[in-house]
Structure 1
Amino acid sequence: MHAEQIYISRHGATASLVLNRPAKHNALTEAMWREIPDLLAEAEADRDIQVLIVRGKGGAFAAGADISEFEDVYATEERAQAYSRAIGEALDGLARFPKPTLASIEGACVGGGCALALACDLRFAAQGARFGVTPAKLGLVYPFNDMRRLVSTVGASAAKDLVFTARLIDAETALQIGLINRLMPQGVLSQAVEEYVHHITQTSSHTASVTKQMIALIEAGQDEDDEATRQLFLNAFSGEHFQEGYRAFLEKRRPNFPKP
């Protein structure tokens, strides 16, 4: 049993960033936000880890930021800036994490919880999950980077709909608009995520890392190949992963890719 409100657990080549406040539906405190960058750095440095899963304990993903702290964290402009900066560093750090990330979502995925899921590469959810982007309920504004990730995921029209209304949507609607990638029956989400992640761990971590770099450049507005992207492509041919991959193909065996 873990007493920490947020922690990293490991299983083979997979790590999980676990939100552990089930009595509060895993609402994120300021301390939890501040701890995320260090936990991400720990998982990034571990050469055995190829995939990071983000999940919550107790049947909820995350109900958002802990509103009970708002009187303190928004007491002054300086305090609000520091709090918002801590959240931004956590979410941007997760979005920049160089290994594949997957949000495993049950129950509430609302507000800051939805922002956390959007910072992951992929989102799998169980039926019964609920999603909401809710700054309009508090008279707040969604930060630019969070809005960019939302628009990139669901498109501008659906993003406006979610933010203007601040309504909760069910998992079926979330799948329809592209907010989640897959929807699972209740009770099988963990197994489905484990099976999917196993496929990733059997492939090249170098390919995954460079793919994330390429897609980040595309999402940032780059629309043509340049010297840097050409070099990313060409470097693979002299890399250890390609040397192992093509030999394994010729020898009709599963590749044993080296650790990064």
Structure 2
Amino acid sequence: MSIKMIATDLDGTFLRDDHTYNHRRFAKVFRHLQKRGIHFVAASGSSYPRLAREFAPYRDQMSFVSQNGSVIHVGQQMIRNYPIKAAALARVMHVLDRFYGPNDINQLVISDPLTSYVDQQMDNHNLAIVKTFYEQVTRVPDLRHIFAAQPGQDFTKISINFADHIDLQRVAATLDQYLPASLIIENSGFNTDLIGDAHGTKRNGLALLQQHFNLSADEIVTFGDNENDLGMLAMTSQSYAMQNAHQVIRMQAGHITYDDNNHDGVLKTIEQLLKNE
């Protein structure tokens, strides 16, 4: 079966560790994809504005699964988002305050489809890190009451970057026990957990695009490196875990890239796939 769509995670997968990529090589690959009618998708825990900036020259010709699947765009048109109910959002804030203090959390971010919000007390160092992944960031007087201050707004994702001394496996066990069943928590690497509506996953976002473009699963190629990529990798037999991925991820993908994210692993694999087409 021929390839009709390629979807890749960004950080730790398509991007190098310094959050850059080989622009010249990608431009050449992208031209070949367009000639063959292969649609390119960026799927990430980051916000749409960050993804649109990373792929600015191509954004009208590709699609985006952002915020781990809570927001889906075809080009610049948002076709779906999965908001968190206000009561569930309030519950998350309550649970975080109950179990974690200010020294346990480096960055707490609440996002709507385009804008991400942080508390005005966040220091400049952590704010700079947040802006790397979320682009459009606004400080608010009290993040924990943002849903009350903006009652009509759809909030789609909560991102929590924990301090190094926090055991993320214990975090997942704790939050799974106390959070509403309507929410899902997924690890996106870098000591960060993402919480959103249970339907807002990369797998569901990519499935929506699959339906939109009328594709079968075996016409899709996926790339990933972390837990939040597993659902997307499981969608198709043409799935690739990165050479630098954890062994658990590598074991569940159909293939493993020859090169890691710092050596154009995704682009080299795509080039080889196009040669074999």
Give TM-score, length-normalised by structure 1: 0.33
Decide which structure has the larger Cα Rg and report it.
Answer: 1
Considering fraction of residues, name the structure with more strand. Answer: 2
Q: Which has the higher contact order (CA 8 A, sep 6+)?
A: 2
Give TM-score, length-normalised by structure 2: 0.31
